[in-house]
A and B are shown apart, each in its own frame.
Chain A
């Protein structure tokens, strides 16, 4: 699963997710993309599950680009532990996702295969999503 090789600080604040994305809202690499419509956190496991579902449906043909990286350490206290005594240990890695963000792009497959693959990938995500495609010249059928 994806996680940073090294970080400047071990733990991060919880943070809040406001507004829409200001970047990665348009296709940059592939002919089709999966656009997220809700705000939330995307964990490395969810992202990997999504990638596997998409790649497997495409029968490992074509090409897949992930456009998010889970670089936010999420901590958790052990069960049955009283509050206090400092912040918990890092349990997982996640990315903060704002609405409009394209998280996966694919190319080298037909529109039908891409849509089916994205439907399977989207089932692994905690958001509503939409498939986006290039229009006009350079678009794939």
Chain B
């Protein structure tokens, strides 16, 4: 958390649905600044400026300065609401931070060393259980990302939070040792295994049924059924 971006905001006089819609028609996004035991302030942000800040990535994980009538507040964007169809931001919550504040925040996970994972090399699929991990940390030291190392993880293996190196003063809010990601069997491989198991079961059944010395019937009869279903 080195650089802090500055967003210029304006006070919003008209509140409620009508005022918010009027702000959006004017190319601005309604927002609110609250927290730090001070009364909330209704503001609006320029849409283009906000879209640029959001597009840079990690918007809700970075501290921002908002400038309101010459006064600067240190804030953390707590929530961005998006329009369901256009995906444009329609409202932002800015959480005002005091000195020494600690925050609960969701930090994105980033996976490295995919090439060194034997499971992924063999065609396994990385199943991300948690794209974000909720942690508690000082507001001045919010990690940008949590790096997960996939080296040495095979098909069927999983990575738990206990094996992830977290920065100091950062603790996950979930107390148990939860799964962050796993490497799942690919669909094609699963079907091959199912077909092989079905063939083996058919062969075993044929051996039980057939008397000694008699020829076992071909096990191929059951194969097409197993191969029929597509992934």
Interface residues of A, Cβ cutoff 8 Å to B? 20-22, 25-26, 35, 37, 52, 55-56, 59-63, 99-101, 107-108, 132, 134-139
Interface residues of B, Cβ cutoff 8 Å to A? 54-59, 61, 82-85, 87, 108-110, 123, 125-128, 131-132, 144-145, 184, 186-188, 230-231
* A135 proximity list for chain B (CB < 8 A): 54-55, 57
Q: Tell me whether B131 and A100 are in contact (CB under 8 A).
A: no
Q: Tell me whether A63 and B84 are in contact (CB under 8 A).
A: no
Name the contact of B125 in the complex, choosing from A20, A100, A108, A139 (C-beta under 8 A).
Answer: A108
> Nearest residue in A to B188 (C-beta to C-beta)?
A60
The answer to whether A137 and B57 touch (CB under 8 A), given A61-B186, A108-B125, is: yes
The answer to whether A137 and B58 touch (CB under 8 A), given A63-B184, A107-B128, A108-B125, is: yes
Name the contact of B144 in the complex, choosing from A22, A56, A137 (C-beta under 8 A).
Answer: A137
* A132 proximity list for chain B (CB < 8 A): 87
Q: Tell me whether B57 and A136 are in contact (CB under 8 A).
A: yes
Q: Tell me whether A22 and B57 are in contact (CB under 8 A).
A: no
Name the contact of B85 in the complex, choosing from A59, A60, A99 (C-beta under 8 A).
Answer: A99
* B82 proximity list for chain A (CB < 8 A): 25-26
* B55 proximity list for chain A (CB < 8 A): 135
Q: Tell me whether B109 and A21 are in contact (CB under 8 A).
A: no
